[in-house]
C-alpha cells in the first residue's frame, strides 16, 4: 500500500515493507504544480515494481486533483518517456 505524506510545501509517497521504505519525494511549487524531486528504492524492493508504483500513484493523484508534474527526478522522467499516455499530467 502506498501512503501519501504532506508537510507544508513538501511531501512524499511511501511504500513500507519489512522495516524498509521506498519513496518518491516532491515539492508543491503552486497548487497546480508539483515537482517530483527524488525516488529512492532500497535493495530489498529491487525488482518489485515499487518505483513504478510510486510514480503511477503520483500520476493518478495529478489527474484526480488537477495538478501538473515537473519531472526533476531522472527516474520519474524516464517513466514519463515510457508512458506517453501520461503526457497530460506532465508540465514540460
Residue 92 has what pLDDT?
A: 80
Sole residue written with cell 493518478: 60
Domains identified in the chain and CATH numbers: 2-89 (3.40.630.30)
**Residue 5 CB partners (closer than 8 Å, separation 6+):** 11, 12, 13, 14
Digit-coded pLDDT (tens) for 73-90: 999 999 999 999 999 999
- Segment 18-76, tens digit of pLDDT: 999 999 999 999 989 999 999 999 999 999 999 999 999 999 999 999 999 999 999 99
Amino acid at each position: 500500500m502506498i501512503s501519501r505524506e504532506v508537510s507544508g510545501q513538501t511531501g512524499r509517497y511511501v511504500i513500507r515493507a519489512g522495516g524498509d521504505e521506498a519513496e518518491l519525494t516532491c515539492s508543491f511549487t503552486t497548487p497546480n504544480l508539483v515537482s517530483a524531486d527524488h525516488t529512492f528504492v532500497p535493495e530489498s524492493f529491487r525488482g518489485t515494481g515499487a518505483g513504478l508504483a510510486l510514480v503511477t500513484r503520483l500520476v493518478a493523484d495529478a489527474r484526480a486533483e488537477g495538478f501538473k508534474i515537473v519531472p526533476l527526478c531522472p527516474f520519474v522522467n524516464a517513466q514519463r518517456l515510457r508512458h506517453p499516455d501520461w503526457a497530460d499530467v506532465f508540465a514540460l
